[in-house]
Structure 1
């Protein structure tokens, strides 16, 4: 999501002929806050479910460790979106020149 929004913003600013970095900072801070909140809610839901169905502390701990971490597919999607946005920026830049 972060890469996608920044890529769209970069393309939009390029079309307008602006290269302001203030927008990027604001979007970066906003998306970081949103991403942390989303991850917190996801983690809380997973932990609540583990606590509801398992009483053994060791089982709870192991399940919490298994459920945590980053998504491998999320990393792949971010790289693909980044590469596509770079290609679009190059095409737009060439068309504007």
Structure 2
């Protein structure tokens, strides 16, 4: 099952990722844009721990596509997808091939 992503609304600010990247500092959740902790991880990933979305990883490749195409995650569907993945893995990861890009 793919993670649903939708187009951003025209005219809305979409720069949801803050630039400060030291471990443990408050950052924005890459799914809901709420406050989340950035977790240091190895490899081409961004990892967050959000009080509402939980802990997850998103590939750098997917983040670049999202920013390039002006897309964002469907929050409720992505949270549900993460919850289902947590049955199998402690920290679910979303990669480009798992994302369903919707217009």
State which structure, 1 or 2, has the greater radius of gyration over its C-alpha atoms: 1
Larger strand proportion of the pair: 2
Q: TM-score, normalised by structure 2?
A: 0.27
